[in-house]
Amino acid sequence: MDRIDALRLFAAVAELESFTRAAERQGLTPGAASKQIAALEDRMQARLLERTTRSVRLTDAGRALLERIEPWLSEYDAIENGLAAEQGAAAGVLRVAAPVDFGAERLVEPVTAFMAKWPSVEVRLELSDRMVDLVDEGYDLAVRIGQLTDSSLIAKRLAHAPMSVVASPDYLAGAGAPDHPRALGAHDCIIDRNRPTPNLWRFHQGKDSAEVKIKGRMSLNGARAAVAAACAGAGVACSPAWAAKDAIAEGRVTELLTDWTADDRELWAVFPSNRYMAQRVRLFVDHLADWFKVGL
């Protein structure tokens, strides 16, 4: 690690008040991060951080150093990103978070295409259904589906993300097909706990709307799992159209209530509102917008 990286690490520890989280942001182990800070303190001939079992705090010397290096690091980043932009280059590590199902099904291909175009970029793709903290956990951006709530992030809409209501032919042969969203209240519905309101499905048709409180014996978490359960005859699923598309085309499920729109959502790229955005992040967001402009 060079001295600039060591100063970046020190600034991250000061910001996050944690060696572990700062190490994760910089792609290091906590032990390696601790050694780098110790080496920095040796060079500075001053103790920069007070460590306890529960916290990490700046000393007076550490606070003085941080005040001096923060504007310098910001200016360095601006110069570095500006030079990269002039060359049209993207390089370095790109840390991306995305939901498990969507990431595996629809994001790996555009990520691979981006890496082929920019061979100096290394992508670390974290697939998780939890809402990661981009700043604290050191991600450059996240791909999210739904309604955004964090106003501290910048968001770029990538595509419309429609939903499909589906059930297997065997299930429908026994239970019948619903002719209105409210009829779903009498059906065995598959509850996807990853949805913001798992037991409440919303529909609209022109000026009409319907909210249906659904129930069911199958509860799970994940769009692809919900479609698989519907294919197996477990009940009616309301899942993203991209997850149900193949099953519909192959006849394993039938799409229902096609004259209604089911709780559609949007696909977003979100990233911290930093003053300077790395060129690799800017180019990747543009790449995703172009990739998904034909829809999901």
Residues 137 and 110 in one domain: yes
pLDDT tens-digit readout, 54-87: 778 899 998 999 888 887 887 777 666 666 555 5
Q: What proportion of the chain, given as a percentage, has pLDDT over 70? A: 93
Q: What is d(CA 110, CA 292) in angstroms, rounded to the nearest whole number?
A: 9
Q: CB within 8 A of 283, min separation 6: which ones?
A: 90, 114, 118
Look at 138-147, 260-269, 272-281 and tell me which has the smallest mean pLDDT: 272-281
Residues 157 and 174 in one domain: no
Average pLDDT, stretch 153-160? 92
CA-wise closest residue to 97 among 292, 277, 271, 293: 271
pLDDT of residue 85: 56
pLDDT of residue 276: 62
Q: How confident is the model at residue 263 (pLDDT cuts 50, 70, 90)?
A: confident
Residues 33 and 147 in one domain: no
Residues 282 and 152 in one domain: yes
Domain CATH number, residue 156 = 3.40.190.10
pLDDT tens-digit readout, 97-133: 999 999 999 999 999 999 999 999 999 999 999 888 8
Residues 131 and 276 in one domain: yes
Number of domains in the chain: 3
Q: What is d(CA 269, CA 281) in angstroms, rounded to the nearest whole number?
A: 10
pLDDT of residue 88: 60
Residues 170 and 239 in one domain: yes
Average pLDDT, stretch 224-247? 97
State the DSSP H helix or E strand holding residue 270, giving kind and residue range, or none if neither.
Answer: strand 265-272
Q: Is the pTM of this model over 0.75?
A: no
pLDDT tens-digit readout, 208-233: 999 999 999 999 999 999 999 999 99
Q: How confident is the model at residue 33 (pLDDT cuts 50, 70, 90)?
A: confident
Locate 123 and state its tokens. Answer: 């992508």
Domain CATH number, residue 46 = 1.10.10.10
CA-wise closest residue to 152 among 161, 160, 142: 142
Residues 229 and 101 in one domain: no
Q: How confident is the model at residue 198 (pLDDT cuts 50, 70, 90)?
A: very high
C-beta separation of 253 from 227 below 8 A = yes
More confident residue, 192 or 51: 192
Q: What residues make up the domain containing 27?
A: 3-86
pLDDT of residue 122: 93
Domain CATH number, residue 172 = 3.40.190.290
Dihedral (CA of 169, 174, 176, 182) sign:
negative
Q: How confident is the model at residue 29 (pLDDT cuts 50, 70, 90)?
A: confident
Of 20, 55, 86, the last residue of a domain is 86
